[in-house]
């Protein structure tokens, strides 16, 4: 189908202009004013903002192995509802994404998905940290990056070898920075809240120590590394210093780390438990500041859905939160409507930079580019109700919160994949 979007406020690289967008054969065929096309379905986008499709570079679609929590179909539907047109799926599935066979399975299921699915393959076989995967074979079968997400590669020598090899191959390595020996039996941040609740805490040094190790290896070998889900002021300081020194480094964080703190855990609700955990106000403010000054490059969700039953017990529930359908609204509420970030800056962190890091297409609305975009009502207020999520996961830490900014329509490769009015 041909679409003609009229009078949209289009977010460009560093500007916003009122433009028409003509979509044909999956691409932006034209971008300008007073465009006409008799064969097109016309959409009046007056008072709506057109942004490049969000690229979420850190999601868990639980497929294969845990499809009762999420699968590629439901995950992609949830992504579309959040204005997301591309996702990078982490490898801690069952079996792990460590073979050509599993990548072929994901590619087959992804062919029917509403959004673009980019698999992140494991660094080590079975995520066990002992033997490296065949990087070249997995790249040939569609892997766009490598991570043992959910746990670090504990053997530093093995990680160094992987980083050097992937640097030569030109593919990113994504590190889950967490010393499991320091984590121990902790389930929330170590501090006043863990003491008040009488629970074992996770010391911030668990994250900071591995962040420092990854930076040291990257610096010594002139290799690249991407630091996932940054949550501490210590890691922020380490990343900021490393970037000043020219280390090849990028980093991401998630909405819960710049909007929420460990105080939420006083509710004893497992929907506020994730890994790394919610931390202090000092940490939250540091993460926010790092996004504003560019120390942290991108915003992802670490979308990690679980069933209601699994999240029922605060003490024994698995870590993770559902975030696909709230991420853009959270960022607009927290940064745009408070004038801390402009729309082009938000697009940079939620679309352009993830594309650069993963070396995939996207991040811009321009003539000849894939028609991946979302139409957003920036001023629409809505209350988060997880029961209305397209995701199987209802475990949102933003449930009941009023956010400002709502996705109205989402297009991927020129197809209308989400329409709030239908």
- Domain 3-49+370-419, what fold? Urease, subunit C; domain 1 (2.30.40)
Contact 270, 317 (CB under 8 A): yes
Domains 3-49+370-419 and 55-358 share a fold: no
Q: Show the tokens assigned to 315.
A: 């003490």
Distance, in Å, from the CA atom of 285 to the CA atom of 272, rounded to the nearest integer, reads 18
Whether 302 is a known active-site residue: answer yes
Contact 63, 27 (CB under 8 A): no
- Specify the pLDDT at position 179: 97
Q: For the whole prediction, is pTM greater than 0.85?
A: yes
- Specify the pLDDT at position 158: 98
Distance, in Å, from the CA atom of 322 to the CA atom of 302, rounded to the nearest integer, reads 8
Q: How is 111-172 classified by DSSP, letter by letter? A: TT-SSEEEEEEPSBGGG-SSSB--HHHHHHTT--EEE-TTS----HHHHHHHHHHHHHHT--
pLDDT tens, residue order, the chain (422 aa): 999 999 999 999 999 999 999 999 999 999 999 999 999 999 999 999 999 999 999 999 999 999 999 999 999 999 999 999 999 999 999 999 999 999 999 999 999 999 999 999 999 999 999 999 999 999 999 999 999 999 999 999 999 999 999 999 999 999 999 999 999 999 999 999 999 999 999 999 999 999 999 999 999 999 999 999 999 999 999 999 999 999 999 999 999 999 999 999 999 999 999 999 999 999 999 999 999 999 999 999 999 999 999 999 999 999 999 999 999 999 999 999 999 999 999 999 999 999 999 999 999 999 999 999 999 999 999 999 999 999 999 999 999 999 999 999 999 999 999 999 88
User: Is the domain defined by 55-358 classed in CATH 3.80.30.20?
Assistant: no
- Specify the pLDDT at position 333: 98
- Specify the pLDDT at position 421: 86
Q: Could you tell me the residue ranges of all domains in the chain?
A: 3-49+370-419, 55-358
Q: Show the tokens assigned to 262.
A: 């460990």
Q: Which residue in 98, 203, 297, 302 is the catalytic one? A: 302
Distance, in Å, from the CA atom of 315 to the CA atom of 179, rounded to the nearest integer, reads 21
Rounded to the nearest 10°, the torsion over CA 99, 100, 103, 107 is -170
Contact 190, 276 (CB under 8 A): no
- Specify the pLDDT at position 422: 81
**pLDDT tens, residue by residue, 69-85:** 999 999 999 999 999 99
């Amino acid at each position: 189908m041909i679409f003609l979007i009229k009078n949209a406020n289009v977010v460009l690289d560093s500007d916003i202009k009122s433009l028409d967008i003509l979509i044909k054969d999956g691409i932006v065929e034209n971008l300008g004013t007073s465009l006409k096309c008799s064969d097109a379905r016309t959409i009046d986008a007056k008072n709506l903002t057109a942004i490049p499709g969000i690229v979420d570079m850190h999601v868990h679609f639980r497929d294969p192995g845990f499809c009762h929590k999420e699968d590629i179909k439901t995950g992609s539907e949830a992504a579309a509802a959040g204005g997301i047109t591309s996702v990078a799926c982490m490898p801690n599935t069952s079996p792990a994404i460590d073979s050509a066979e599993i990548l072929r399975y994901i590619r087959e299921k992804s062919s029917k998905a509403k959004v673009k699915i980019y698999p992140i393959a494991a660094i080590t076989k079975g995520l066990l940290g002992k033997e490296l995967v065949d990087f070249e074979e997995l790249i040939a079968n569609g892997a766009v990056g490598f991570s043992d997400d959910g746990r670090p590669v504990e053997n530093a020598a093995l990680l160094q070898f992987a980083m050097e090899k992937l640097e030569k191959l030109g593919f990113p390595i994504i590190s889950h920075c967490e010393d499991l020996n320091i984590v121990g039996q902790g389930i929330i941040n170590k501090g006043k809240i863990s003491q008040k609740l009488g629970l074992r805490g996770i010391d911030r040094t668990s994250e900071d120590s591995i962040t420092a190790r990854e930076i040291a290896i990257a610096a010594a070998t002139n290799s690249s590394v991407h630091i996932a889900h940054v949550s501490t002021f210590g890691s922020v300081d380490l990343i900021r210093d490393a970037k000043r020194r020219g280390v090849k480094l990028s980093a991401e964080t998630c909405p819960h780390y710049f909007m929420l703190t460990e105080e939420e855990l006083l509710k004893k609700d497992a929907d506020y438990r994730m890994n790394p955990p919610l931390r202090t106000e000092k940490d939250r403010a540091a993460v926010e500041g790092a996004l504003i000054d560019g120390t942290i490059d991108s915003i992802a969700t670490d979308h990690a859905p679980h069933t209601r039953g699994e999240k029922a017990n605060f003490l024994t529930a698995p870590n993770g939160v559902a975030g696909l359908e709230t991420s853009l609204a959270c960022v607009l509420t927290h940064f745009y409507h408070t004038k801390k970030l402009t729309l082009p800056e938000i697009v940079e962190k939620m679309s352009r930079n993830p594309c650069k890091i993963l070396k995939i297409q996207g991040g811009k609305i321009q003539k000849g580019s894939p028609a991946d975009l979302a139409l957003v009502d920036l001023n629409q207020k809505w209350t988060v109700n997880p029961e209305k999520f397209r995701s199987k996961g209802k475990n949102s830490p933003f449930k009941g919160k009023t956010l400002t900014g709502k996705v109205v329509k989402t297009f991927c490769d020129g197809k209308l994949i989400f329409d709030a009015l239908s």
